[in-house]
Structure 1
Amino acid sequence: MNDIKDLILDKAKERMERFGFRKTTMDEISKDCSISKKTIYEHFADKEELFGCLLYRECQGTIRMLFDEPADMPDPLEKLTLLIRRAVAYFNQDHFITRILKDEEMFLALVNTKYRKIIDEEIITSIVRVIREGKQQGKLRDVDEQIVAYAGFRLFQSFSYARTWPLAGAGNEPYFTEVLVDFIINALQKK
């Protein structure tokens, strides 16, 4: 990415963090960047595209952060365990990505971007690689990696930021994390 585009995304991120998606305008981003609105439109067709690019950039950084350390681990079971724990811990902190996922207005903007599907597919593909590696080492059962990675990702979402089910004792993330780890590892581990 070039410097101007990164500047625009950085300033848009700052403004969206403070005011949300709807209240952020291209005029304000232009002023924050000290560049013309025309320059912004040379890089982004509209605010939705700018938000999608910002989201994609931030998610790429989050994915790298979550998957980098586990990537060096030789044992796929340990890798999956660490990945789940790191991801749950990350999504229980206050980051730009977690604010998007928990803010209804920004979440709706996310759902409507073409990048959401790309991001989901990238995460699932990364999980597939771990499962495939575990199968090759003989430590994980012979499962359809794509389906299991998809199901595991959706299960993780429901345990973390999506909170599709109001769990009793909310705020007890360490317990829920261990239940999720236990469930996934026991479902995949070759006995």
Structure 2
Amino acid sequence: MKEGDTVDDVKSLILDKATERMDRFGFKKTTMDEISKDCKISKKTIYEHFIDKDDMFRCLLLRECHKTIEILFAQMGGVSDPLERLVLLIRNAIAYFNQDHFITRILKDDDLFVALATRKYHEIIDEEIIAIIAGIIREGKQQGKFREVDEKVVAYAGFKLFQAFSYERTRPLHKEEDYTEVLIDFIVNALVKK
């Protein structure tokens, strides 16, 4: 910890070091003592920011999910057409979750995911993503490109389909097959006015 570091700087340092250690050694083998040594701060300082190890890792999961959301939505750039944005979001998200990122390793690891994602945190993340997708659908409806649908329900259903075809722990139909275009076709045909 350096002079002039803010509370947020210290919390970010702790989460950064916890990410490195957990990624290398796993959740169960990562201790608060080791994180304290990695950060060069006292355990007392860590406990000023987090209730316990589980709380720290839930915050870590939330941070990683928000970082992923930012990355995915930044990749949509200046695309203004809601249908193009939705299709690009699906393609980019599936491509991202097929790569080896810290967040994808967490989501694909049953034990780790259960340890980190309490229902409350899982719901917060899901609701945020669903609200963003619903906003794109609402815009498409306002422009007359999408059918009159309940955007929250359709966003929820689309998000759950995305999860099933990406990082969820469901058995794929065929391991080597890419279902991106099938998922896009299904969602587009469900939304676009004929």
Q: Which of the five TM-score ranges fits, normalised by the shorter chain?
A: over 0.9
Equivalent of 1:85, from 84, 91, 94?
91
Match of 1:160 in 2: 166
Equivalent of 1:24, from 30, 41, 66?
30
Tell me, yes or no, if the aligned pair for 2:14 and 2:46 is still in contact at 8 Å. yes
Paired-residue identity, %: 68
Runs ≥4 in structure 1, deviation > 4 angstroms? none
TM-score using structure 1 length: 0.94
Equivalent of 2:176, from 161, 167, 171?
171
Match of 1:188 in 2: 191
TM-score using structure 2 length: 0.93
Amino acid at match of 2:127: E
Per the TM alignment, residue 114 of structure 1 is displaced from its structure 2 partner at its CA by 2.9
CA deviation profile, 1:31-55 (whole Å, cap 9, x unmatched): 1111110000000000111001111
Moved more, 107-116 or 12-21: 107-116
Gaps of 5+ in 2: 1-6
More helix per residue: 1
What is the number of equivalent residue pairs in this alignment?
188
TM alignment of 1:68-83, pairs within 5 A:
68-70=74-76, 72-83=78-89
CA deviation profile, 1:78-119 (whole Å, cap 9, x unmatched): 111100000000000000100001112211123326322111
Q: CA RMSD in A?
A: 1.3
C-alpha distance in 1, partners of 2:71/2:177? 24
C-alpha distance in 2, partners of 1:38/1:7? 15
C-alpha distance in 1, partners of 2:113/2:32? 19
